[in-house]
Every structure is written in structure tokens, then in C-alpha cells.
């Protein structure tokens, strides 16, 4: 009996999404005789029933293409902007699912997508997910596709910045993506030879960072590269933010609204923290400091061979799990294989860098300053 499968991509775009779509589609069609359709622009496309047939021609030539042929959005099923309102459109999505007689819905995305997929699974859909994000912070998987490509791009950027930093005797502060997890900054910082690496997991002391740079000066190195996650905070800022979050959690009624507003204001003020760090280091060291924010550059372009391979093998494993009737799970990378992890075990968790991780020890052993001591 033919199985009907829908696919959507949600959240931020990421290298390897098309490779994963191709993996699910080719294996589903060729090995299991499935019929595949894609929903455009994430959960919004599922709500609006905007589809595309993913047959052989549609899956041809997309392995090396960045982004996603289906488009994506950050819309949530139960908090969907509709006109000037925010509505729960779960029931509408269920109608679309049933209209197409779907046996499964495949959702490709990061932590937020896992949560949204779990929500749909609780409302009657057979859901299965694949983990993508350049931040590498999805809990339960060894790695996410998109990370290796972004790591290569970030490393190359740091490589290129070495020459200008050396020529002008400057501090170059490079901001990399990673609001809550420092995998990208840590990996690229190590691979690119950064002198300082600052992570969300390790609040830093600007004076410690400045002293590390001054120490390099005394040894004859007139420049320094500082790789910093966008979510990295100084110890003072981290303490202030933690206090504001605790106040919001404890407050009730009108006090909760005021606490929420204070937290939002604080978070807004911290958006320029990398620029603030640059100015602080310039003042403390006497060296000219410049900021490079890589931003969305890290998400773009052709996926690396490693990401194509990971996305393809997780995609084919996904098709096999659908054929076996395994749903409500994320297809996680485990060594060279794959494992189905229940979505209920993933929701609300994040894979951050452990402070005793081997990469952290490696950085300390080669003299990289992590800003904490």
C-alpha cells in the first residue's frame, strides 16, 4: 500500500536542507514506493495548503544547493500571525494533513521545530523530524547538518582576518552565530587560530581578556584575534541578566508585566555587546580594535561534503523509519548510523558546550584565553 509523506523545512535556513529533502525523497520513492509532497515556507505552508510535488525531477540537482527549495519561516502552529492577530492554527494544519491522506509529516529544523513538531504529534499527526542548525545545539544528536559548512566558512573568515590584524597591529573581534551555544565560535576559533574565544557557556571578564592581549604584546605579538559567540556575555552582564530573568519568573500580575518589560529592555541593550567589548578592549590595551560580524554569511552557499553526507544518511534513515511506522521521533546522528529519539525527550533541552568538553581543554592547553580566568 502506497504511503503518502509530506515534508517541510522550518526555522532558519541551513546548508544541507536540500540534501536531506533529497535523501528522504529518493529513498522514500525508490526504496519504499512512497509519494512525497513538500509544503512551502514551513508550518505556514502547511496551514495554507501550499504544496509542491517532490518527484524525481524536483529532487534532481539539489544536493549541492544551499538554503531550501521549499522555503522556510519561523511561524509556530499554535502562535501563527494571521492578519493583526496571533492564532492557534493547529486544527487547520490537521485538516491539511488529512486532506492529503498523509501517513507521515517530516519536519526539518532546529530546537524550535522539534518543539512545534511534538505539538503536532500530540494532535494526531504522525510526525518525524531531522536535526538541522548551524549552531549544533539540538539535544539528542551527535551533530546537526549545517554545522560543518558554517564551521568551514567561519574558519576561513578568521584565516583571512589574520593578515589584516597582523599588518595593522590590531585587535580583530569576530562575532559568530550562537545565541545559547558556543560550538561554532569554539570550533572555528580553534581551527582558525584565534587567541581569545568567548562563549555563552563561560561568562568572561574583560580585564582577563585584555591581560591576555597585553601578554601577547609583551611577547612581541602586536595583534590578537578574538572569536566571540553572539550570545557571549561578560560576568557582570550575565549576572544582571540572570537576576532579571529570575525576577520575571517570580513576579505575578502587574509586577510580572513590569519585570518582563525590564528584561526586554535589558536584552535590547545587550544587542551591541560585541561592539561594547571591542571598545573596552581598545581602551584597556591601547590597541586599535575592529569588529567583523559574520552574521548570515555563515548560513549560505554550497553545503560541505560532510553536511551532504550527514543530511543524506539521516534522510534515508527517516524514510526507513516511516516505512517501519516509527513516529513521534527525531532521527539523530549516532556515530556512523542513526537513532530514533522520542520528541518528548528533546523538547525544552539544548545541547550546549560542556565546560569540561575536550575542545575546551584543548583551547586551554594551547594557551587560548577563554575569558574566565
The catalytic residue positions are 135
Are residues 133 and 14 in contact, defined by beta-carbon separation less than 8 angstroms? yes
Those residues with Cβ within 8 angstroms of residue 208's Cβ, 6 or more apart along the chain or in another chain: 369, 371, 372, 373
Give exposure, 143-175, as e/b (b: 16+ Cβ within 10 Å).
Answer: bbbbbbbbbbbbbebbeebeeebeeeebbbbbb
Closest CA to 232 of 289, 169, 189: 189
136/156 Cα distance (integer angstroms): 19
As beta bridge partners, residue 6 has 37, 105
| Count of CB atoms situated within 10 Å of the CB of 342 | 13
- Kindly state the cell numbers that stand for 368: 587560548
Q: Which residue has the cell 536584552?
A: 267
Q: Give the C-alpha separation, 41 to 73, whole Å.
A: 5
Q: Torsions phi, psi of 91, nearest 5?
A: -65, -35
Question: What beta strand segments (E) does 145-238 contain?
Answer: 171-176, 196-198, 224-229
Amino acid at each position: 500500500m502506497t504511503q503518502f509523506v509530506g515534508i517541510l523545512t522550518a526555522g532558519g535556513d541551513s546548508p544541507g536542507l536540500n540534501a536531506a529533502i533529497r535523501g528522504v525523497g529518493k529513498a522514500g520513492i525508490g526504496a519504499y514506493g512512497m509519494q512525497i509532497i513538500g509544503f512551502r515556507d514551513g508550518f505556514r505552508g502547511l496551514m495554507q495548503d501550499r504544496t509542491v510535488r517532490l518527484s524525481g525531477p524536483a529532487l534532481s540537482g539539489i544536493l549541492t544547493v544551499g538554503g531550501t527549495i521549499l522555503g522556510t519561516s519561523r511561524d509556530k502552529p499554535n502562535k501563527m500571525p494571521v492578519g493583526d492577530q496571533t492564532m492557534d492554527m493547529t486544527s487547520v494544519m490537521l485538516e491539511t494533513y488529512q486532506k492529503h491522506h498523509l501517513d507521515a509529516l517530516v519536519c526539518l529544523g532546529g530546537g524550535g521545530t522539534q518543539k512545534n513538531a511534538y505539538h503536532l504529534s500530540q494532535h494526531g499527526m504522525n510526525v518525524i523530524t531531522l536535526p538541522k542548525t548551524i549552531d549544533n545545539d539540538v539535544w539528542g544528536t551527535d551533530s546537526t547538518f549545517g554545522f560543518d559548512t558554517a564551521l568551514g566558512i567561519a574558519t576561513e573568515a578568521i584565516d583571512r582576518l589574520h593578515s589584516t590584524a597582523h599588518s595593522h597591529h590590531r585587535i580583530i573581534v569576530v562575532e559568530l552565530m550562537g545565541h545559547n551555544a558556543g560550538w561554532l565560535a569554539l570550533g572555528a576559533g580553534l581551527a582558525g587560530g584565534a587567541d581569545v574565544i568567548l562563549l555563552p557557556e563561560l561568562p568572561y571578564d574583560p580585564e582577563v581578556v585584555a591581560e591576555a592581549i597585553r601578554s601577547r604584546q609583551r611577547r612581541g605579538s602586536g595583534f590578537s584575534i578574538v572569536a566571540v559567540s553572539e550570545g557571549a556575555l561578560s560576568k557582570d552582564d550575565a549576572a544582571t541578566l540572570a537576576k532579571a530573568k529570575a525576577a520575571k519568573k517570580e513576579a505575578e500580575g502587574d509586577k510580572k508585566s513590569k519585570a518582563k518589560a525590564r528584561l526586554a529592555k535589558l536584552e535590547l541593550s545587550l544587542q551591541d555587546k560585541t561592539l561594547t567589548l571591542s571598545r573596552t578592549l581598545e581602551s584597556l590595551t591601547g590597541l586599535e580594535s575592529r569588529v567583523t560580524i559574520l552574521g548570515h554569511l555563515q548560513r549560505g552557499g554550497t553545503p560541505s561534503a560532510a553536511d551532504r553526507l550527514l543530511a543524506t544518511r539521516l534522510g534515508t534513515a527517516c524514510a526507513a523509519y516511516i516505512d517501519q511506522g516509527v513516529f513521534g521521533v527525531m532521527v539523530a546522528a549516532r556515530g556512523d548510523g542513526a537513532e530514533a529519539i522520542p520528541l518528548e525527550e528533546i523538547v525544552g533541552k539544548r545541547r550546549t558546550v560542556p565546560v569540561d568538553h575536550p575542545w575546551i581543554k584543548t583551547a586551554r592547553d594551547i594557551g587560548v584565553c577563554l575569558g574566565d580566568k
